[in-house]
Chains A and B, each alone.
Chain A
């Protein structure tokens, strides 16, 4: 990094805001996607599981976006940030906005992100910003539980019937290309790392890959080839799916501004 000594020593308010929004958006958008399963999952237990994981993610998002609004100092609340920003303002990882497709795809998406959040929150506990370190310690415990669920399903489906194997392998083949963004430089998380706010995204790769490969092997799934990535959600470049997701999620606030429950 060519950052000056001053930026290394103290993260600017603007950077802390953008980093918290990036992390919060990733949790928020995934929570919304998982929420779409409520009432539709293949079994009641899985319906509850996906809704519970969505709740944990929503809790993370609320904490991060509230914190972001607070340090921004313009009076924006978690709700303003969630419901009144346009798709191009969101900096979530592109993987989390991908559609549910089927239970197999949903589990693959969850597994890939859980394995990433495990490493992220582990490292984020050492953040120079106590509010982020605090959240990381809390979220890490929940993420371990999510990971146990999603990695367990990867193995059950992958090493299950011909049909279940095919569906998770399809999911893996279509979603793998979104994982390179997790570790790519050139976005807010790299700036945050230089300022001691969070881990260097590239540094999370080795542990993530080792975890993922071990589960894929046990699940008798084939790891897709890496592609030179095209998606860059954390640099505000999204697939068309995010607009559709937000149209639904933001409908009430956009239609009835300021409406309260």
Chain B
């Protein structure tokens, strides 16, 4: 179910729009800059009209995520710099973004960066009723415990590793 947009790009996207996907793959998320907006899974569609106008559909991770507007601006600025005139970002709410939209490369980069990626899929029927087993992104130990449901951004929770004793952030399953 978690089809990585990066793979879709080459197989299913028209060449002109493919170029726009490539540019977007280089636009970082402002709060987790190792991830591109494509890897975060928030780009829903790219449309190139006959008159050359670009529309990008972006789905917010959380309804109140303060980064949403920064992301929209950085996409527009970047596309303008690449020669697209008056690019437009539109908000797409349905279907809602979930952590399942993170791409495989996005998950690997999160771990590398020191943030534990989501431990399971939210489509699991019991996902809200069990505590996820989260591996420490530094030492891979499973001896970890949750410190807080919430952390520095809406999308993360705070954890602690009992093996290497380091605190770390966990990208929540939602």
Give chain B nearest CB distance to A159 CB in angstroms.
19
Give chain B nearest CB distance to A169 CB in angstroms.
24
In the complex, A128→B122 CA distance in Å?
Answer: 27
A139 neighbours in B (Cβ, 8 Å): 63
Interface residues contributed by chain B, number (CB under 8 Å) = 23
State whether B94 touches A134 (Cβ < 8 A): yes
In the complex, A45→B150 CA distance in Å?
Answer: 7
State whether B93 touches A138 (Cβ < 8 A): yes
**In the complex, chain A residues 38-72 whose Cβ is within 8 Å of any chain B Cβ:** 45-46, 48-49, 51-60, 62-63
Closest to A60 in B: B63
Give me 12 other A-B pairs in contact (C-beta within 8 A), A55-B62, A55-B64, A144-B128 excluded: A49-B148, A57-B64, A58-B64, A59-B60, A62-B64, A63-B63, A137-B94, A138-B94, A141-B96, A141-B122, A142-B63, A145-B174
**Contact digits for B131-174, partner A, Cβ 8 Å, 1 yes 0 no:** 00000000000000001111110100010000000000000101
Give chain B nearest CB distance to A161 CB in angstroms.
20
State whether A135 touches B62 (Cβ < 8 A): no
B66 at the interface (CB under 8 A from A): yes
State whether B94 touches A45 (Cβ < 8 A): no
B62 neighbours in A (Cβ, 8 Å): 55-56, 59, 142
Of the A-B pairs whose beta carbons lie under 8 Å apart in the complex, a sample of 24, sorted by A's number, is A45-B147, A45-B150, A48-B152, A49-B150, A52-B150, A53-B150, A54-B64, A55-B154, A58-B64, A62-B63, A62-B64, A130-B94, A137-B93, A137-B94, A138-B93, A138-B94, A141-B96, A141-B122, A142-B62, A144-B128, A145-B149, A145-B174, A149-B150, A152-B149
Interface residues contributed by chain A, number (CB under 8 Å) = 31
Closest to B92 in A: A134
**Contact digits for B57-72, partner A, Cβ 8 Å, 1 yes 0 no:** 0001011111000000
Give chain B nearest CB distance to A177 CB in angstroms.
29
A148 at the interface (CB under 8 A from B): yes
B103 at the interface (CB under 8 A from A): no
State whether B64 touches A137 (Cβ < 8 A): no
Closest to A152 in B: B149
B96 neighbours in A (Cβ, 8 Å): 137-138, 141
State whether B148 touches A48 (Cβ < 8 A): yes
A54 neighbours in B (Cβ, 8 Å): 64
A149 neighbours in B (Cβ, 8 Å): 149-150
**Contact digits for B90-122, partner A, Cβ 8 Å, 1 yes 0 no:** 000111101000000000000000000000001
State whether B93 touches A135 (Cβ < 8 A): yes
A58 neighbours in B (Cβ, 8 Å): 64
**Contact digits for A113-148, partner B, Cβ 8 Å, 1 yes 0 no:** 000000000000000001001110111011011001
Closest to B151 in A: A48
State whether B148 touches A137 (Cβ < 8 A): no
The 10 A-B residue pairs with the shortest CB-CB distance, nearest first, are: A59-B64, A59-B63, A45-B148, A55-B64, A49-B150, A138-B96, A134-B94, A52-B150, A134-B93, A58-B64
In the complex, A135→B122 CA distance in Å?
Answer: 18
Give chain B nearest CB distance to A20 CB in angstroms.
14
**In the complex, chain A residues 140-167 whose Cβ is within 8 Å of any chain B Cβ:** 141-142, 144-145, 148-149, 152
Closest to B60 in A: A59
Task: Using known A-B contacts A60-B63, A141-B98, determine if residue A52 contacts B154 with beta carbons closer than 8 Å.
Answer: yes
Give chain B nearest CB distance to A65 CB in angstroms.
12
B149 neighbours in A (Cβ, 8 Å): 49, 145, 148-149, 152
In the complex, A212→B149 CA distance in Å?
Answer: 21
State whether A55 touches B65 (Cβ < 8 A): yes
A51 neighbours in B (Cβ, 8 Å): 150
Give chain B nearest CB distance to A110 CB in angstroms.
13
State whether B64 touches A45 (Cβ < 8 A): no
B152 neighbours in A (Cβ, 8 Å): 48
A152 neighbours in B (Cβ, 8 Å): 149
In the complex, A25→B60 CA distance in Å?
Answer: 21
